[in-house]
Amino acid sequence: MRLAAEGLSCRRGARLLFEGLDVSVPAGHALVVTGPNGTGKSSLLRILAGLAAPEAGQVRLEGVEEPERVGGHAHYLGHLDAHKLALSAQENLAFWRDMLGRPGLSVDEAMEEVGLGGLGALPAAVLSAGQKRRLALARLLVADRPLWLLDEPTTALDRQAQASFSALARAHLETGGLMVAATHAPLDLTPSFELDLGAFRPRRPAALAPAEASF
Amino acid sequence: MGRAFLALLRRDLALALRAGGGAGLGVVFFLAVVVITPFAIGPDLALLARIGPAILWIGALLASLIGLDRLFAADAEDGSLDVMVMADLPLELIAGAKGLAHWIATGLPLVVAAPVLSLLLNLSPASIGALTLTLLVGTPAITFLGLVGAAFAAAFRRGGLLVAVLVMPLTIPVLIFAVAATGTALGGTVAFGTPFRVLLGLSLACIVLGPVAAAAALRATRG
């Protein structure tokens, strides 16, 4: 299995964020996307997930049926945790387990794994920001999807939770999973590549850039 | 796929029925509209009986639209919609499940409450029966037409009134045939079955086309 993106460009409004970006992530590897604020890390993840259309280029997941439909094989963890505050932690997780299909760990096992054991009956509204993030990470475990697309996965996590997240991520890579993570915090992931999006900024202001850009 | 559909249906129902979910709000609004009408019209029982079905239908129409603006907007705001569209369940069925849950939580209580509220408007037993039947068949049409407006509201902040304005013109055929069917119970030249069958057809068409149009609207606005 290999995640391949070719010639990706991304436009937000009048601004071209990056262009001519090629991404190739083989099975068992992580791609860590870095770069200053506003260089398009989140936009890149949304494009890879199929949630946003790129200005140019295409994304494929080689080695699966329908390689164009990357989203169907991917977990997307964005800035928003996607919890319903009125439902309990357990109900939230059980919903995503049924919704996303291909069940992985049971709800209780996943809660235990991210250190939320015993808190399942609490409404998501009373969880702290870090606990909500842990609950969102538990979603990655209850459904078995090979590609993890993570946007700042360790936001609000304490140091111990960050370490246990790294362990979960490494375990996912060891079983042949793929990962693309946008982050500012150093993630202890091996084997991983790094992609500095700052380097893919268009040289000229986008408004002036002609269609036949120089490459 | 059926599992995901049921999971979504269950979740939306649970959310609607919990505190702050707004499932009861539609019925309370319906009650308010119906109770206030006799005060405005005056104690003319014959007049009330004649226009009662129309008032009940307008009340049900407005009550059905309550809460529709948050149907997709709430999921878009907390990120759920992003994760949902990555499930194997097609967007059309996601919209369908949400519409069905919304109808069970908001539309069905209106149907149950209608016979009781009919008494306030001096409706005859035959009218009450006809009205309840038309509400049972017609309210799903309103909800599933409303899905389209709800999908657009997800893209705009403060889409509340927008949904009502977008959806209400589309509901006119439903309203015409529903009230016409109820009117036949008061005597007339047309049989009850004639407008009622048209209403059934409208409802079935809305249930099929509503989710498809809502999914298209979601795709177009989220690009």
List, in sequence order, the alpha helices (H) in B69-124.
Answer: 70-77, 80-84, 91-102, 108-120
Query: What mean pLDDT comes out for the span A98-110?
Result: 91
Judge contact between B121 and B48, C-beta under 8 A.
Answer: yes
Query: Is B3 within 8 Å of A101 when comparing Cβ atoms?
Result: yes
What is the CB neighbour count within 10 angstroms for residue A94?
20
The reported pLDDT for the residue numbered A12 is: 85
Cα(A204)–Cα(A210) distance, integer angstroms: 10
Does B17 contact A at CB distance below 8 Å?
Answer: no
| pTM, rounded to two decimals | 0.90
B172: β partners:
none
Percent of chain A with pLDDT over 90: 53
- DSSP single-letter state for residue A196: E
Residue whose token pair is 């304005």: B165
Least confident of A13-27, A78-92, B74-88, B149-163: B149-163
**Is B160 exposed, middle or buried (CB count within 10 Å of its CB: 0-12, 13-18, 19+)?**
middle
Does B44 contact A at CB distance below 8 Å?
Answer: no
With left for phi above 0 and alpha for psi between -120 and 50, is residue B163 left, alpha or beta? alpha
CA distances from A203 to A199, A200, B187 (A): 10, 9, 78
Does B122 contact A at CB distance below 8 Å?
Answer: no
ipTM of the predicted structure? 0.88
Average pLDDT of chain A? 87
Q: Does pLDDT of B26 surpass 60?
A: yes
Query: Is A84 within 8 Å of B15 when comparing Cβ atoms?
Result: yes
Choosing among B10, B18, B83, B84, which should be mutated to test the A contact, i.e. which has the most A CBs within 10 A? Answer: B83
Q: Does pLDDT of A214 surpass 50?
A: no
Q: Which of A187, A135, A192, A194 is nearest to A162 (CA)?
A: A187
Identity of the residue in B4, B83, B85 whose CB atom sits nearest the CB atom of A101: B4
Collect all residues of chain A within an 8 Å Cβ-Cβ radius of residue B4: 98-101
Q: Which of B155, B15, B194 is nearest to A88 (CA)?
A: B15
Query: What mean pLDDT comes out for the span B50-79?
Result: 91
Q: Which of A76, A81, A145 is nearest to A116 (CA)?
A: A81
Identity of the residue in B15, B83, B85 whose CB atom sits nearest the CB atom of A87: B15
Q: List domains and CATH numbers for chain A.
A: 2-200 (3.40.50.300)
CB contact set of A159 (below 8 Å; sequence gap of 6+): none
CB contact set of B189 (below 8 Å; sequence gap of 6+): none
What is the CB neighbour count within 10 angstroms for residue B2?
8
Cα(A162)–Cα(A156) distance, integer angstroms: 9
Residue whose token pair is 């080689």: A62
Confidence of residue A208 (pLDDT cuts 50, 70, 90): very low
Cα(B11)–Cα(A202) distance, integer angstroms: 45
Collect all residues of chain A within an 8 Å Cβ-Cβ radius of residue B21: 86
The reported pLDDT for the residue numbered B223 is: 65
CA distances from B111 to A110, B32, B36, B104, B204 (A): 42, 15, 19, 10, 18
Q: What is the pLDDT of residues B179-195, one digit of tens each?
A: 999 888 777 778 888 99
- DSSP single-letter state for residue A21: E
What is the CB neighbour count within 10 angstroms for residue A66?
10
CB contact set of B201 (below 8 Å; sequence gap of 6+): none
Query: What mean pLDDT comes out for the span B19-45?
Result: 86
Choosing among A48, A66, A84, which should be mutated to test the B contact, i.e. which has the most B CBs within 10 A? Answer: A84
Cα(A198)–Cα(A35) distance, integer angstroms: 5
Q: What is the pLDDT of residues A108-160, one digit of tens each?
A: 999 999 999 889 899 999 999 999 999 999 999 999 999 999 999 988 889 88
* Residue B155: both structure tokens together: 């893209």
